[in-house]
Structure 1
Amino acid sequence: MADTDGLIDARDFGTSAPAASGLSGGFHVKGAHGQDWGLRNRLSRIFRPDTGRTVMLAFDHGYFVGPMAGLERLDTGIAPLVPAADAIMMTRGALRTSIPPTTDAGIVLRASGGPSILRELSDEHIALDIEDALRLNAAALAIQVFIGGEHESRSVANLAALVDAGQRHGVAVLGVTAVGKDMVRDARYFRLATRISAEMGAHVVKTYYVEDGFETVTASCPVPIIVAGGKKLPELDALTMAYRSIQEGAAGVDMGRNIFQSESPAAMLAAVRGVVHDGLKPAEAYELFKETAAGATGNAES
């Protein structure tokens, strides 16, 4: 067992310095310069080459909570939003039943599961075979990693096994930092959770935004970090979180409830794209949201 006495907290994250020369290799996705062509091609379906960022629409919630608000009908509530997303994150069942095969969005499949919201959520297993992911043309596979959770070791082993499968077939892996109700959501914890996922081979890491020290989380993770939307927030607050995340080093957002539970999901998705890809500030993006929502209402009434 490693001796943890006398460990010195990391201090210098070099948050103002770009990635060291040569490490990007001219590729637009952080940490992927040494990957095979197929895996980099798949990452390019998720991260736009012109900005290096992504707006991912997440609607995989049903795999453990069932038909929550906004996800009652995937075919009518979610499918119309897909063309405006760079990537979509869902289960294979949702993809096969509800998403048109003509979509250009990068496909990110939920690959872990097991317990429902009624049980211990960290008790997950790999729930998707790599061959089925290839049949579905997946760009990436998403897996929960429960650092500090009851089944932490198994979730890390699940991640490692999925990375091995992904590397063999050129499919990226998205490590999702799962935070229990009793865990402290601060930069120190997220530095730990995101770094472990990256060191175990995840090509992208999804985590939560924190106001104090988030730039140290993104700087100390050698692969792109995308920010989870989390619970439903007022639209301006969600856009502010997205803006701050990008300004502090995130490579995009993976939003679910803050889009599909918005009073105008399509308008909210357009506003988030404005923040992530066009550099809109929160107030500007909120104005875009209101204008787009009003236009949609007017068209529906005419």
Structure 2
Amino acid sequence: MNSVAKKIRWSRFLNRQSGRGLIVPIDHGLTMGPIPGLDSLSRIESWILHPGITGVIAHKGMVERLGARGLLRGQGIMLHVNGMTTLAPAPDSKELLTSVERAVRLGVDAISLQINFDGKNDAHNLRLLGAVADEADRFGLPVLTMLYDKVKSSQPEQSLRRLRHLVRASVELGTDALKLGAPEELSLIPALLDGVQEHTAVFFAGGEKCEDEELLELARSVALYGASGLCVGRNVFQRENAAAILNRLQQAVLEDSGLPPSRSPFTDPGQQPGRLALRVAND
């Protein structure tokens, strides 16, 4: 991307030395209710200012409340603009709930939205992403698309083709960054990201709560294969000691100087893209 405004804002989500990011989404409350770890502001306050966190994703009400408490300092802030509760009959069809103009008024640095493709809502998802990307571009705000394919297939190759098609559709409509899961078969990862990371920032989700070593293996892979970073929620705020896991993630994702820096559309074009190998995640 050539927009200076986008580059400046996106830089707030990345570590200066490694060029990678550790973003924590806390948009789960709208979807899932007051789940453990997000059931009070005091719980969030205990970890949200950790120096390893380069960015936070939240809905407008939480941005207002956390900002009023002085808890959104020194990191990039994304406004999550769509959603749907799990109580709804079609939870994968996420509706637009606020505007890019509201994001500007809140002072955030980027826009986030989630699109889940269930095989029936493609038109809705593409219209939504296209409209949000156009409006965000008008204000110079980067867009992160959380992209999940909910259509299951017994053939890994077919799933890969579907996901690559959906990734390309998101790129064609103007998204600047992607949050993805990965195939269970790690051998398919190079084919999944082939040609993507060189022009679009790619983060990978932490998924449902897992053991520390499984999460850290994911984090090390993010750095090793040159992805843009990790976007992990429940595996941070649902930990008994969130600060402890953040310390380890910070070291694995942001501080391993022996690994190549991330390549994204906002970094030096002379850097070479890498490839990412992780596990399936759906945070």
* Aligned match of 2:189: 214
Matched, 1:79 2:49: no
Looking at structure 2, the residues matched to 195 and 249 of structure 1 have their Cα atoms a distance apart, in angstroms, of 19
Please say if residues 113 and 127 of structure 1, whose CA atoms lie closer than 8 Å, have aligned partners that are also in contact: yes
174-183 or 229-238, which deviates more: 174-183
Give the CA deviation at 1:39: 1.2
Pairing of 1:147-296 with structure 2 (within 5 A): 147-180=117-150, 182=152, 187-210=160-183, 211-221=186-196, 222-279=199-256
SS at match of 1:89: strand
Looking at structure 2, the residues matched to 194 and 49 of structure 1 have their Cα atoms a distance apart, in angstroms, of 27
In structure 2, which of residues 34, 45, 48 is the aligned counterpart of residue 67 of structure 1? 34
Deviations 1:74-125 (A, max 9, x none): x211223222210001111111113444512101111112443442122222
Please say if residues 114 and 127 of structure 1, whose CA atoms lie closer than 8 Å, have aligned partners that are also in contact: no
Give the CA deviation at 1:148: 4.6
Structure 1: gaps of 5 or more residues: 1-31, 282-302
Higher relative contact order (CA 8 A, sep 6+): 2
126-135 or 93-102, which deviates more: 93-102
Give the CA deviation at 1:49: 3.3
Please say if residues 94 and 115 of structure 2, whose CA atoms lie closer than 8 Å, have aligned partners that are also in contact: no
Matched, 1:52 2:19: yes
* Aligned match of 1:110: 80
Please say if residues 214 and 248 of structure 1, whose CA atoms lie closer than 8 Å, have aligned partners that are also in contact: no
TM-score between the two structures when normalised by the length of structure 2:
0.80
Structure 1 letter corresponding to 2:194: A
* Aligned match of 1:38: 5
* Aligned match of 1:92: 60
Looking at structure 1, the residues matched to 32 and 151 of structure 2 have their Cα atoms a distance apart, in angstroms, of 16
Structure 1 letter corresponding to 2:103: A
Looking at structure 1, the residues matched to 200 and 214 of structure 2 have their Cα atoms a distance apart, in angstroms, of 26
The percent of aligned pairs where both chains have the same amino acid is 23
Deviations 1:43-75 (A, max 9, x none): 0111223222100011110111111121111x2
Structure 2 letter corresponding to 1:179: D
In angstroms, what is the RMSD of aligned CA positions?
Answer: 2.1
SS at match of 1:201: coil
Structure 2 letter corresponding to 1:167: D
In structure 2, which of residues 100, 112, 134 is the aligned counterpart of residue 142 of structure 1? 112
161-170 or 148-157, which deviates more: 148-157
SS at match of 1:156: helix
Distance 1:189-1:45 versus aligned 2 partners, 3 A rule: same
Pairing of 1:13-32 with structure 2 (within 5 A): 32=1
Give the CA deviation at 1:280: 8.6
